[in-house]
Structure 1
Amino acid sequence: MVFVRNICLLLLLLANLGIFPATASAQTAELRGAISDDSGAILPGVTVTIRQTDTGIERSAVTDDRGLFRAPALQPGPYRITSELMGFKTDARTLRLTVGDVSEVRITLPVGQMSETIQVIGTAAAVDTTKADLSGVVSEKQLADLPVLNRGFVGLAQLLPGGGPSRAGDARFGIQTAFGGTNVRSMYTMQIDGSDLDHPIYGLAVVNVNQDAVQEFRVLRNQYDAEYSRAGTAVVNVLTRSGTNDWHGMGSYYGRDAKLNAQNAFATTKPPFDSTRVSGTFGGPVLENRAHFFGAVERLRQNSVQIIALPAANPFASAWNGVYGNANNETTGDGKVDYQVNPNHAVNVRYLYDNLKQPSDYVLAEQYINKAHDVAGTWNWNISSSKLNTVYAGYLDQDTLRFQSTPDAQVVRPSFTSGRSPNLPQGFPRKRWRLNETFFWAPAPHALKFGTRFAHEILNYDADYYGSGVWEFNTDRPFNAVDPATWPFRYTTGSGPQSKLYENNEWGFFAQDDWRVAARLTLNLGLRYDFDSNLRSNDFIAQLVADPAFAGLSNLVKSPRGNDYAHVQPRLGFAWDTLGTGRFVVRGGWGVYAVRNRPWFNIRGQVVSSQFTAEVTNPALLGAYPDRTAVLGGKSISDYIKTAGGRALYLPGDDLDLPTVQNVTLGFAKTLTANTTIEVDGIHQKQSHLQTGHDANLPARGPLATNPRPYPQFGTVTLIDGTTSSWYDALQTSFKSRYRSATFQVSYTLAKSISDGTNDNANTSTDPWHTFGNDDRGLDENDRRHALSWTSIMQLPYDIQVSAIVSLHTGNPWDITAGQDLNGDGINSDRPAGLVKDAGGWANDTNLAIINAFRASRGRAPIAMDLLTQGSGDQLVDVRLMKAIRLAPRWGAHAQLDLFFEGYNLFNHVNYENPSGNMSSASFAVRTVARDPRQLQWGARFRF
């Protein structure tokens, strides 16, 4: 603790000196250079003028006594770099900087007159010679020319090493992208123009940006600077477009219809479908070379269906099978203004808007509404040629609503669950303020950044937990009042709607030094510290412990119990330019990364624990199903709890910590030809303190029916603690090439993920008596062994372009459970002894034997190995064919009309979701859901 305290004091001291970080700096680029004469002697005092050719904005730098210069916080885009020194010829070269890029140029000035200029084109090193991080950019051209279904541009990140579709059921906007063997909820962050716009509960970005408004984005994975926080496996930096000195605009139309779609594998007829998406952008100068604006708007109207296709053997098939209509309606908008006040000061302001509604005719479907406004501003102060300061401020106002249209009580059976989910409806009105600052300083041979990150968040939670009640059964047989085997084993009900508020401050401090130890070797040295002020909801816990209505709670949670202050995060990396030519770089590093908290546990705990939530497990009462009053013995919920106990609680535990990730990487990047590079990296990752729930009010051993709870005044007391770990090992490779009018990119990842307990963000444990270091070890739900992607963009004669994406992914494993409470702990997701978690999707004779023995004991037929090994892999080929019609100069210097036709899953391969893993169900190991079949889309785009 003394060490931690001293580190905190040091970083706070740096902050008070005016040295702060901002996530906004990650949205810019950096140029570094070394200048020498013909003999290789260093040249100090060279004036380097860096001009952004689209906007005319300039920055100047001067080489130091080592011949080095550095220009941080540059707006990504095309640049002209001019180097001048009396007695030498002038060097002028052009290059393009991308978001988050650190480009290095080596410039040689021949002796001569300054009036003589040497013109050089595109001379930055093809591979990064100064950074150990692993990253890739999805470029402006890829965003404009590759086929992207639903215009979900972040899906293109799946084309980079380590990326893949997330199947963990944690996405609200369709299939999301996961990185490094983790889920969407907490392990990576998305920053849009410096704003961290992750949903605090679901993880995905809360604002969907019009793809035509995105300039480019970079994905940093598994190894990155101390500047980056709240992410364990990846950071996605999205840069929206800005205006330029030229007037530019774009109008786009995309259409789809059921007539051009193939039929889903589980549909008996081709279901209705139509989609219309229109988009417009416009930008230009306010003051040439100084002030520019850009704006964009997009509108989506999509009507589709949800197919329920339970197998005929499922007793609920006739009641629920069908085709149900749904819709996806969304409006997005953004605007940006950039202003170069004078040569040393620049500001910008950006606004984002998103309004999404997803209604459904299926009464069990979750309906979703999301509305968000985000505004952010940045001020860059160029103090000197070696010092620059960036201030960033942002505000997010967002509201999410989830609900179902059914009012019925939820009925949970092995083969089907009907009725209203116990956590719906729920609303998340949210406000978030951000204030950051970055200070850059480049005293040769160092490139330093220091600072702080601050965010204040207010999250409201409106919910009606168990408002309709939940009946849980161990059988599919209809209820029979004279047959106790058909009765529910538990009934849970709540006392009514609650509205709670969770307030939290997030602090982060960092220092980063990219130290050029030698001409060919750069060390990346970083130190970061993060903490949350309200991680464990200590004030709320103190109120409960002091409340006589919760007598005995102090035996389960402590108060006071402190906070998690242990997140000092050192990061060490190196980049070795082995030949000194920038063509072959060996890189590696080790780092510790604290992940953002998911306040779902905090805010749900306040709602569930503040209301009266009763659990009834007495068979004598449960025989009165479905009469709620009779099951409660004719009492109100509060009176039942006073006399029979069983009040359910849900709380952050004493050991709830921020999850922590340690990454070790080693690899190389090599330029094979002027336009071809290859990268190969090995990764070892350990995730610790993953947040998992367990029932803290269970007897030491044995079923609840014969062993009373230690504190009978309470029922299930779910405590969320950081109790499990996972490991990820991967070999990530990429190959990029450009040949004449074609570009190619291939990425391949070989990986394995395992974990030693229930999955991250799980509410319950299947092994409750082994909470810490339990023996529930096996493949992680996010394990994906192989991921291969291939993309190409080819320009053909007659202004015809063909682009394609080929994606091949093996599936995630699927968990297999009994679907029944085998050990009497009140949890019906147990597994028979010896059956490892996530056993579905791979062949194992022992697992198959355990499964079939259990099914035989329940009168179910055995399954064959081919059913056990079913998976959810992808085989997709997406193609775009485009014809450009040039309209210049009549309609403007850059006017062009693009007509295109796109095919998604062109060969109509059936890509299944994982089957049911409930061994007691008639649908066990039976596939019932297939992802989208072939879909065709047409469109037009006018650019000027």
Structure 2
Amino acid sequence: MRMVCTLMLIAVVALPSVLRAQVGSTTDILIGRVTGPEGTPVAGARVEATSAETEITRIKVTGADGRYTIIFPDGGGNYRLRVVSIGFAPSQLVLARQSDEDRLVGDVRLGRTATVLQSVQVRAAPARQPNQRPEAGSTERGLPPGLVNRLPIEPGDLNALATLAPGVVGVPETDSTAASFSVGGQPANQNSITLDGLSFGSGSVPQEAVRNTRVVTSTYDVARGQFTGGQIASTTRGGTNIFQGALNYSLRDPSLEFVDEPENAFSQKFSQNQINGGFGGPIVKNKLFTFGAFSLSRRTDALQSLLAADPLALQRLGTNGDSVARFIALLGGYGLQPTTASIPDEKLNDNASALVRIDYSLADNHTLMLRGDWRGSVQDASRISPFSVPHSGGNAKSAGGGGMLTLTSNWSGVINELRAYVSGDSRSTDPYLLVPSGRVVVASDLPDDRLGVSTLQFGINSALPQESRSRRIEISDEISRVSNGGAHRIKLGGLLNEESSENGSFSNALGTYTFNSLADFEAGIPISYTRTLSSRDRQARSNNAAIYLGDSWRRSQRLQFTYGLRLEGSRYPNAPGYNPLVDSVFGRRTDRFPSELHLSPRAGFTWNYGSNAGGSSRGSIRGGFGEFRGRAPSQLFASAADANGLANGQEHLVCVGAAVPLPDWDAFLNDSRTIPVSCNGPSQQFGARRRNVTIFSDDFSAPRAWRGSLGFNRRFAERYNVSLDASYARGVSQTGARDINLDTTSRFSLIDEGGRPVYSPASAIVPSSGAVSLSGSRIEQRFGVVSEINSGLTSSTRQLTASLNGIAVRSMSFGASYTVMHSRDEVQGLSTFGGGGGGFGGGGSGASTAGNPNVAERGRSDQERRHSMLATVTWPVKPGFELTAIGRVASGAFFTPIVAGDINGDGLRNDRPFMFDPDGSPDAAIAAGMSRLLAGAPGRARECILRQLGTIASRNSCTVPWSPSLDIRANFRPSGFGLDRRLTVSLLALNSLTGIDQLLHGDDLRGWGQPVFPDRTLLYVRGFDPVSRRFLYQVNENFGAASGSRNAFRVPFQIAVQARFTLGSDPVRQQLNAGAGGAAGRQTAVEFRARLARAVPNPFTQILELNDSLGLALDTAQKARLQAHGDTLKARADIVLDSLSANLAGSPRSGDPAQAGARMRTRIQEARSLAQAALKDAESILTPAQWAKVPQSVKQPFAQRPDGQEGGRQNRRRPPGA
């Protein structure tokens, strides 16, 4: 029966790697029972299990009940088993992970004599599709390196990999935040990234160190926690019994990057050299292994600043060359040179990372894994924006690393997995210039008769200097037991982590001057000066713990459940001291940080329905519901520790009008201690130092989400899979904030703006600039913003995804999905962290108001992308050459129009503008500006304005155009010159749509493949009329401009070159060659075909052979029809078998495993289709009574029997000639 074992191994290898590596956990549990011919248990039987991926062998002896349990950390899901016992015939098995299981059941019935052919039990999964899930009810996508290394994507960027899962929304990086992603409409900071089962603080690892990555968008496993969105679960490669590794080099060069304006520094052309490598193997075979990987990269970009911008780029930024030239000249007059010899002309970014792993089998029952990781980066010319000059930035450095221990143990069927990880990170940025930040509002006439308004920046970036350190300790332990027969796996686990951070910097540490025009800047008359003052580092610490109890229940082969409870708690030490003044005025205590304990239930199921003639299911229905608890952002507690209202706490200086201290740039340059720490004059109305306070409400808790999903998938035509997944997420206890020191009594209303309330009296507004003093809206004048952080906000997201994937003509595999999303959430005017010194404030993305910022407003979420489509294609054109592609199309992101300035007097720049109708505006300048804007604005911006004329703009009421993207990769694997297909040379065509746009449209670009960064500012505050009590505005006629040729930032069409050389053995190719020839050498096509033919069932000949023994009493006509159909089936099967055996036996050992697998998969499916059609014909020939006598082993030759035996392959003597 070795041919059955061989055929099933080939079938597993034939599956493409994207289908094969849907691994549910890092540890495989092999269980089973060995019995004799009479069904009695066999004690002392020797069970040898060998991983097909790693070639590592584990040995176990059965107990008195004949049962065994073997543990494989990172085993790979496919195993060869050999069972030997004195007095019995040896038996061989192949175990392959089912798509929804974490344990593999291998029951064996041994024969008495060695003359009886060996019994073979195969627990192989049917042809799995990418949408099948490793956990009951869950939705996720597996991304093994074998797939990722062939696609046009950065393999080590975990956040980029997450966007390959349908419905995941990518969140682009900014100059202060890393790239991330959003799942189910949840905030990006509520995701989880794990490496080898524990939290990992970095979004990238050396690409050769990654064994597998899973993007989990829905799960009901109670072992997973600390997130409300999604999870990226990656595992690292460990050493095996095979010496193997790879070296990878990639090149990006400006000469291979093509833009319509080659000299434009904003074209984002760059050069990059990157080297990745990894290698490992056994130190002691089957005992001690090691694997190490590294990554080195250097990237240089053109410095995007006002000095590098040409006139066309400046126009697209909303300004002109004359204004910028005057601005640069004024800087020189103040001695503030825009750049110096020490500031580089290019942005240089060096990155390095390394990972080393050691695996040690202490005994048959214990395996120890030790892992160390390190990463570091150096970036010159950091934090320089296109609207600033080079001296605003600085040089940044970061470093981090950690060490991990994992111990997996097995005590008589009780499995324990202990993990511990300690890590630390540090970041620092040293500024080039230590003077206050400066902002100059400039109105410029643009060549197309529009008036653009922009803010030019100089001095230090307000986020600098920067210095921070963090440390994390995380420990988890899980103990589980698999019931006899494997129906239940009950697990009890716990997790404990502690995070601590120390931040020696804070926003606006050196202050910010704002000028309302170039004339004001030249005269040295600012309209405002703000500064945050603090004498202490921000420190925060959090302790999180969880205990969970769950069960994975395999009710039957078709029905599986997972359910359980998860108890989580958090506490936050390092609360500041007690502030009696805050307590007496607001009734809140500053010396108490909240703690909480919460119990969450979860349950999920998967039901495999229907069956074809071969016995495998046609599809599945899956779903579940449960509650998920995230983690409160640590910066909240760091802010509260600093902004405590005490003498050692943070202070915020706000000066407007006559209270603004005049800048002395020469003195600032010579001594930063001369930078003002107070306002001019004794008046408290237009300037004062006030202490900001951050406190927590009694109901504060970590964010949570109730989530449910229901999915359906069905296979058809043996090679395609269609699925439909619906999900709903209800976010509760979402974090928000209220300013409890804001007097929300309206002092007057802006009649021309729909009665918008203003919380400061008109006397507290500077007429010449429109700047509003903070004092007019304070309940207690000794405090500034008093932010009470609460958990009263909610969100809801509905999402529906339809997917189709499979194998088309010429072995082309594809996957396509369409997702429609509807996401709503609540925000408050202080909902976004940052700015303002006190913690919340600053009116960042998502934080806006039309009146009272303390009132939660429900609206469209920032994370919503109403429509999104994703497609991936892999086409093995010929041996040694394949094409792959990733295409995306998403409807435009939404954005909120804003006003540059404070209108309602709450002290924050978070007000949404009133959409003035040009025909009814009280101000002629506004009417003229709105008319010109409507005449020349992009279509979507115009629609947004017209739809809201005469009202205050709604949150996220505007949208940008749809954003398509297409990346293509060509992989060449030469076999000559002794390369043996170990070398892969790749050409990547990145952002191909831009190249197509240039080719088709020349200078009249449509903006295909370009990022969209709309100008969100509609109105700039220019003054205040105290008589009519209305603000004076200037319309930004560049509002919403961000498409086609009006986009200043151009991402080029790029050709990247990459080469990867495989070292040592290739485990996939080794399995393929073993299936074709084994240790005795490669077989001929005739020999291999003979082995395959004996494993392909012919039901017609089987029924004829069983006629007498079963008493079928076939008549002459039936026998003739069965014989004719049997001959026809044999002839058609011969064609398939000849092709399959010739491909396998005739292909070189250096052949590409992926392409060979694709060819085999197609032929095997054809053979199975023939057998299934034959069964229907056979049933039609027999009478119902005769068909009822035919054994199930003939009716369902590929089905699993209740005892685990494959149909037709039990311990029975085969008919002669079989």
- State the TM-score bracket (shorter-chain normalisation): 0.7 to 0.9
Contact 1:35 1:68 (C-alpha < 8 Å) held by counterparts: yes
Kindly state the Cα deviation for residue 711 of structure 1 after the two structures are TM-superposed: 0.9
Question: What's 2:544 paired with?
Answer: 506
Distance in 1 between residues matched to 2:925 and 2:897, nearest whole Å = 12
Kindly state the Cα deviation for residue 744 of structure 1 after the two structures are TM-superposed: 2.0
State yes or no: 1:144 paired with 2:230: no
Question: What's 1:179 paired with?
Answer: 183
Kindly state the Cα deviation for residue 440 of structure 1 after the two structures are TM-superposed: 0.9
Residue among 668, 677, 681 paired with 2:721? 677
State yes or no: 1:216 paired with 2:212: yes
RMSD (CA atoms): 4.2
Alignment gaps of 5+ in structure 1: 1-24, 199-204, 836-845
Task: Note the alpha carbon deviations across 1:741-767, whole angstroms, 9 max, x for none.
Answer: 443222332112211224665733534
Distance in 2 between residues matched to 1:491 and 1:858, nearest whole Å = 32
Kindly state the Cα deviation for residue 616 of structure 1 after the two structures are TM-superposed: 2.7
Kindly state the Cα deviation for residue 259 of structure 1 after the two structures are TM-superposed: 0.8
Question: What's 1:737 paired with?
Answer: 806
- Give the total of aligned pairs: 879
TM alignment of 1:574-723, pairs within 5 A: 574-579=605-610, 581-609=616-644, 610-617=648-655, 619-622=657-660, 624=662, 632-633=678-679, 644=688, 646-672=690-716, 674-702=718-746, 703-705=759-761, 707-723=776-792
Kindly state the Cα deviation for residue 797 of structure 1 after the two structures are TM-superposed: 2.3
Matched residue type, 2:301? S
User: Which shows bigger deviation, 581-590 or 212-221?
Assistant: 581-590
Question: What's 2:999 paired with?
Answer: none
Contact 2:24 2:102 (C-alpha < 8 Å) held by counterparts: no
- SS of match in other structure, 2:579: helix
Contact 1:328 1:356 (C-alpha < 8 Å) held by counterparts: yes
State yes or no: 1:381 paired with 2:409: yes
Distance in 2 between residues matched to 1:723 and 1:61, nearest whole Å = 58
TM alignment of 1:95-494, pairs within 5 A: 95=96, 102=102, 116-118=118-120, 122-123=124-125, 126=128, 127-128=132-133, 131-149=136-154, 151-167=156-172, 169=174, 172-173=177-178, 175-184=179-188, 186-198=189-201, 205=202, 208-263=204-259, 268=264, 273-307=270-304, 309-311=313-315, 313-314=318-319, 317-318=324-325, 319=327, 325-360=346-381, 362-365=390-393, 368-385=396-413, 387-402=414-429, 404-412=431-439, 415-416=454-455, 418=457, 419-443=459-483, 445-472=487-514, 475-476=516-517, 478-479=519-520, 488=527, 490-494=528-532
Distance in 2 between residues matched to 1:852 and 1:81, nearest whole Å = 83
Contact 1:645 1:712 (C-alpha < 8 Å) held by counterparts: no
Contact 2:296 2:352 (C-alpha < 8 Å) held by counterparts: yes
Distance in 2 between residues matched to 1:140 and 1:465, nearest whole Å = 41
Distance in 1 between residues matched to 2:919 and 2:609, nearest whole Å = 54
Matched residue type, 1:599? S
Kindly state the Cα deviation for residue 358 of structure 1 after the two structures are TM-superposed: 2.2
Distance in 2 between residues matched to 1:858 and 1:494, nearest whole Å = 39
Distance in 1 between residues matched to 2:278 and 2:553, nearest whole Å = 42
In terms of Rg, which structure is larger?
2
Question: What's 2:1052 paired with?
Answer: 933
Residue among 988, 1012, 1015 paired with 1:913? 1012
- Label 1:482 to 1:472 Cα distance change in 2 as closer, same or farther (>3 A): closer
- SS of match in other structure, 1:802: strand
Distance in 1 between residues matched to 2:403 and 2:920, nearest whole Å = 56
Residue among 898, 904, 909 paired with 2:990? 904
Matched residue type, 2:1040? A
User: Which shows bigger deviation, 605-614 or 449-458?
Assistant: 605-614
- Label 1:363 to 1:728 Cα distance change in 2 as closer, same or farther (>3 A): farther
Task: Note the alpha carbon deviations across 1:64-106, whole angstroms, 9 max, x for none.
Answer: 99x99987764142522438699899452253689x9637679
Kindly state the Cα deviation for residue 493 of structure 1 after the two structures are TM-superposed: 1.6
Distance in 2 between residues matched to 1:799 and 1:96, nearest whole Å = 30
Kindly state the Cα deviation for residue 363 of structure 1 after the two structures are TM-superposed: 3.7
Kindly state the Cα deviation for residue 273 of structure 1 after the two structures are TM-superposed: 2.7
Question: What's 1:14 paired with?
Answer: none
Higher share of residues assigned helix: 2
Distance in 1 between residues matched to 2:211 and 2:911, nearest whole Å = 49
Question: What's 1:16 paired with?
Answer: none
- SS of match in other structure, 1:620: helix
Matched residue type, 1:176? S
Contact 1:606 1:651 (C-alpha < 8 Å) held by counterparts: no
Distance in 2 between residues matched to 1:238 and 1:420, nearest whole Å = 39
Matched residue type, 1:58? R
- SS of match in other structure, 2:622: strand
Distance in 2 between residues matched to 1:192 and 1:906, nearest whole Å = 33
- Label 1:652 to 1:667 Cα distance change in 2 as closer, same or farther (>3 A): same
Q: TM-score scaled by structure 2?
A: 0.65
Distance in 2 between residues matched to 1:777 and 1:367, nearest whole Å = 41
Distance in 2 between residues matched to 1:790 and 1:776, nearest whole Å = 36
Kindly state the Cα deviation for residue 152 of structure 1 after the two structures are TM-superposed: 2.3
Contact 1:819 1:918 (C-alpha < 8 Å) held by counterparts: yes
Contact 2:397 2:429 (C-alpha < 8 Å) held by counterparts: yes
Task: Note the alpha carbon deviations across 1:335-380, whole angstroms, 9 max, x for none.
Answer: 1111111110101111111111222273445754321111101001
Task: Note the alpha carbon deviations across 1:177-232, whole angstroms, 9 max, x for none.
Answer: 33222343x2211001123123xxxxxx26x2111221111111133311111111
Distance in 1 between residues matched to 2:921 and 2:101, nearest whole Å = 52
Task: Note the alpha carbon deviations across 1:473-520, whole angstroms, 9 max, x for none.
Answer: 6x556428999xx852x5322335632332221111111112334554
Matched residue type, 2:292? G
- SS of match in other structure, 2:255: helix
Question: What's 1:57 paired with?
Answer: 57
- Label 1:631 to 1:847 Cα distance change in 2 as closer, same or farther (>3 A): farther
- SS of match in other structure, 1:230: coil
Contact 1:665 1:682 (C-alpha < 8 Å) held by counterparts: yes
TM alignment of 1:834-845, pairs within 5 A: none
Task: Note the alpha carbon deviations across 1:420-469, whole angstroms, 9 max, x for none.
Answer: 34443222211211221110112354211112101122211111443221
Residue among 1056, 1061, 1065 paired with 1:942? 1061
Distance in 1 between residues matched to 2:158 and 2:194, nearest whole Å = 14
Kindly state the Cα deviation for residue 690 of structure 1 after the two structures are TM-superposed: 2.2
- Label 1:657 to 1:746 Cα distance change in 2 as closer, same or farther (>3 A): same
Contact 2:375 2:399 (C-alpha < 8 Å) held by counterparts: yes
- Label 1:623 to 1:170 Cα distance change in 2 as closer, same or farther (>3 A): closer
Distance in 2 between residues matched to 1:168 and 1:793, nearest whole Å = 29
Contact 1:898 1:941 (C-alpha < 8 Å) held by counterparts: yes
- SS of match in other structure, 2:900: coil
- SS of match in other structure, 1:280: strand
- Label 1:221 to 1:154 Cα distance change in 2 as closer, same or farther (>3 A): same
Question: What's 1:28 paired with?
Answer: 26
- Label 1:109 to 1:443 Cα distance change in 2 as closer, same or farther (>3 A): closer
Distance in 2 between residues matched to 1:374 and 1:647, nearest whole Å = 38
- SS of match in other structure, 1:828: coil
Distance in 2 between residues matched to 1:562 and 1:348, nearest whole Å = 38
- SS of match in other structure, 1:225: coil
What is the aligned-residue identity percentage? 19
- SS of match in other structure, 1:463: coil
Matched residue type, 1:416? T
Matched residue type, 1:261? E
Kindly state the Cα deviation for residue 882 of structure 1 after the two structures are TM-superposed: 1.9
Distance in 1 between residues matched to 2:526 and 2:1048, nearest whole Å = 30
Q: TM-score scaled by structure 1?
A: 0.83
